[in-house]
Chains A and B, each alone.
Chain A
Amino acid sequence: MATEQSPKVSTPRDIRKEERAQRKAQRQGADAAPERKLEQVIIIGGGIAGMEATKQLLSLGYRPVLVEKEDHLGGHVASWNRLFPDMGDAQAIISTLREEIMDATIYLSTEISFCNRLRDGYNVMLSNGVNVLARAILMSTGFTLFPAAKKEEYGYGVYDRVITNADLENWFNGGDDHRIPSSPKAVGFVHCVGSRDLKAGNPQCSKVCCITAIKQAIEVKEKFPEAEVYCFYMDLRLFGKKYEDFYIRAQRDFGIHFIRGRVSEVSETINGSVQVKAEDTLSGRPIKVVLDMLVLMAGIVNNPDNAGIAKQLSLETDTDGFLRSADNILSITESPRKGIFLAGACTGAKTVPETVAEARSAALSIHNYLKNLQ
């Protein structure tokens, strides 16, 4: 089964990749049934879940076709700077994964035009005119960050000194941001912005923001040792490996102030700083702090693009808007539809290691599924 590519979209790089994949398949064809080894699997979404699954499927002897709507791979992790808890380099992870999937067919800046169900598989039409037939589809479509401007009382987009976690990472990566002052005296982090907030439309916990806030607070303190750093949280959910150590270090080694209480409102002072009103629920008192910069920890919400694809594939979404797994314990990477698999944050908020592990698990599920079809 050869991929039909229209001439206007096939770049020399793509063609080289095709040839390489074919050569590899021919080489392996000597010791196994060639038609099984050449079987295509479509992977929708080129974030870390999609990349890891591609890597695993390649090594299992399939021919993964990875479709990514952006012009680069790596998803949200690609725009992050360092990852908790070991402050590992996010770019390094992406480039390692990218190296390992060189042999796969990768379509960048490409979206799914439509897909329909065949008797024993799926026909997926891509926006670049390529038509892919496959018996298995992996959805690794990920999440979106909660649009922080929706919580208008926090002033994102209204006040000059209010940014989000993503803006801060972008600045860590060398991006330019006029909203970040050169020597702030006080910086605040608001946890749970658009998470566990019914009125913002998302009652779920985003899982990663607590630890991300601690990580970013430490990084800000490292950049600006003079600044006082405050974290306004309602609970600290530090469930992961080494997270608690990280939290203790933030308090003990970096002197970051943790205030239990949700921020009620943010206003602008005459000199352009922001004033935060909150309740310290441990001391039971209302507090007011003037800050030079406020970082909103925008949460993880479902990717609205999922709805269209899910509808065409008759996939169900859960009450939280994320895709629904066949079972939340034993088959989290399987959808209720035959031949459609799920990996990563398209089924809910997940950390990087969880996503990677799930991608591997999904690749194995696909392998077993296709093997049993023979």
Chain B
Amino acid sequence: MIDRIANGFHPFVLPFVFGMVFVLSYCVYGIVKILRQLPAEDRKHFFVTLVTPKYIVKNVWDIFANCLLHVKLWKRNRLLGYMHSSIAFGWFMIILLGHIEVFLFMPSRAKFFYYPIFFNFFVAENETTLRGSLMFFLMDFFLLVILSGIVLAMIKRIRSRLFGMRRTTRPSFLDTIGLYSLWAIFPLRLLAESFTADISGGSFLTLPMNWLFRQFLGNNLNMLPTWWAYSIVLGIFMTILPFTRYMHIPAEMMLIPMRNAGLKIRNARRGFARTEVFSCPNCGVCIDACPMSVKKANVKDCTVYLNRQIRRNNEKRIEEISDKCLLCGKCTVVCQVGVEGSVLRVVQRSTRNYAINQDYSCIDVAPFKSQVAASSGNVLYFAGCMTQLTPSIRKATISVLEKAGVKYKLMDPDGGVCCGRPMLLAGRFAQAKEMFDRNVEIIKASGCDTLLLSCPICYKMFKDHYDLDGIKIVHHSEFFSQLLDEGKLRPKMSSEIKYVFHDPCELGRGEGIYEQPRTVLRQLGTLVEAKQNLDESICCGGSLGSLSLGFEKREAITRNSLDNLCVAHPDTIVTACPLCQTTFGRYSDVPVKDISQVLDSAVGEKSA
């Protein structure tokens, strides 16, 4: 290989150089800004992980697997996985191979950072590369891989349904420019390299194209304009990248080490939250996943649009979107980058200034404490408000406890203190904390070693936010499964009854309890599954999470969720949440029961 341009420079590289310098400076500025926004202890911890070998290995592997290979996306949808990884990994390989070429063949030019990108323009081939040798072959091969990805991307833009996506985001103006310039980069590179292939050498793709063009063009005057075009398109893409969805490419590389370091969202807009927002690739997978988006409603309130509005600082829309969400958490499950839509919203809610802040200091816990201390038993059953409003669940749960011979106490037979979840979901952390403190006092006064809950909303609260040193917190579905394992209950099996289990948001996605209720139901009858189940189960629509979604607007959500549950024609819909049961009960043609009710009727009389 020999230099074709004496000083290793040509003005056509300037657009690219400008774009690259701009995007790199922007990223450095962004990184510094985000790091400064982190709370001091988080920042310190983050720096420590960056030099800890264990974390370094994990970070490198995660970045490689997620940003380049898109492993998570492959598992979900192979076509989309191929499309993304072909472009990302192919592009990465071309850049990497370009650098290797420079180091191998032109080490003296390694100081020019544009050189690897435009290598074929600057060099003329002599015998050293052996015509279409390995490097040229690989360059052509990865370019072909990228081009196949680009073709898929174009098809997806026209027919997203072919890729399993019913709806996708509407790109903003800059996104569209970014998209078209990204699409243009690789065909232009192919053309540019083809026009110079007879000088610089090429492989199975560029050499035949060079020959073909020569047949009808007869000269190589197109060479320079094409390299100019390639550089300009690269320059455009790099320059607008910080203002488009493609910002997710550098942001995700920052997000992965931060998440591995265990950082949490502490501020609605700054630090870790900001990294998450910029990591959103605007793919729109969350639109189809969002329970509110049924019948094309509320599409603009999905997490992808929250991220977009946060980037635009559109305060009015940010508030609306944050308030409306049911906080079911499904968008986070399907998100390729793991943007925590629910957490972002709750933290956003916490920034609001309320005219009145409730004062709960008047609540006297002394009577509750003496009530729980008076009775005997080691399992403390807290029904909570939702179960109090569905007395059949409370009755059935107590009846099962009796039949299994469990020594239990009631924590709220005649009123109690709220678990605090509604306040927490509304972002009113101080008020929620007051509830925690009071309940902890009552629970500790009981002397019990197990706290039993029949409401997943309370369960999540006690499990995640209470410090109950050593007291075991169990949901009744878990507890029943355990009682069955221990042989304390002998239910009657009726295989002719078909049950379907609805995974409540707070129990499934919230606490990862999927198997225990199913274990119980398999011992009572035939278990069938919903179309979308487990971590992709659809919210019933009754969630406490939404602060502004009206009652009438929730009907479509509930009906959609019911349709999803009834695909296998169950005889009974079973759930483990009083709120889901009430919500479904309103519109369901199939009876809706709590797991305690189904179990209680299957366990005839006292078996232990």
Contact = CB atoms under 8 A, between A and B. Distances in A.
Contact of B388 (A157, A198, A201, A265): A265
B585 A266 contact: no
Contacts of B390: 152-153
B52 to A, nearest CB: 53
In this complex, which of B391, B414, B552, B582 has the most chain A Cβ atoms within 10 angstroms of its Cβ?
A: B391
A248 interface: no
B548 to A, nearest CB: 16
B395 interface: yes
A159 B413 CA distance: 15
Interface in B352-396: 388-392, 395
Contact of A152 (B391, B415, B551): B391
B596 to A, nearest CB: 13
A265 B416 CA distance: 13
A15 B573 CA distance: 50
A153 B395 CA distance: 12
A199 B551 contact: yes
Contacts of B585: 150, 152
Given A152-B582, A201-B586, A275-B414, A159 B551 contact: no
A198 B391 contact: no
A267 B582 CA distance: 17
Contacts, number: 34
Contacts of B388: 153, 265, 267
Nearest to A150: B585
B414 A158 contact: no
Contacts of B551: 198-199
Interface residues of B, number: 14
Interface string B548-573: 00011000000000000000000000
B9 to A, nearest CB: 73
B586 A153 contact: no
A152 B395 CA distance: 12
Nearest to A275: B414
A61 interface: no
- How large, as a class, is the contact surface on chain A? 10 to 19
B400 to A, nearest CB: 16
Interface in A174-212: 198-199, 201
Interface in B301-358: none
A234 B445 CA distance: 39
Given A198-B551, A275-B414, A152 B586 contact: no
Nearest to B396: A158
B395 A158 contact: yes
B391 A266 contact: yes
A265 B395 contact: no
A180 to B, nearest CB: 20
A152 B415 CA distance: 18
B454 to A, nearest CB: 14
Contacts of A277: 415
Nearest to B394: A267
Given A158-B395, A199-B551, A152 B389 contact: yes
A275 B392 CA distance: 15
A155 interface: yes
A344 B285 CA distance: 52
A150 B591 CA distance: 12
A265 B394 CA distance: 13
Interface in A48-94: none
B557 to A, nearest CB: 15
B544 to A, nearest CB: 14
A268 interface: yes
A268 B391 contact: yes
A319 B585 CA distance: 21
Contacts of B413: 267
Given A198-B551, A199-B551, A275-B414, A267 B391 contact: yes
Contacts of A275: 414
B588 to A, nearest CB: 11
A40 to B, nearest CB: 37
B551 to A, nearest CB: 5
Nearest to B388: A265
Interface string A146-166: 000010110101110000000
B391 A155 contact: yes
Given A152-B389, A155-B391, A158-B395, 8 more contacts: A152-B392, A153-B388, A158-B391, A158-B392, A265-B391, A266-B391, A275-B414, A277-B415
Interface of A: 150, 152-153, 155, 157-159, 198-199, 201, 265-268, 275, 277
11 contacts: A153-B389, A157-B392, A158-B395, A159-B391, A199-B551, A201-B586, A266-B391, A267-B391, A267-B413, A267-B414, A277-B415
Interface of B: 388-392, 395, 413-415, 551-552, 582, 585-586
The 3 closest A-B pairs by CB, nearest first: A153-B389, A158-B391, A158-B392
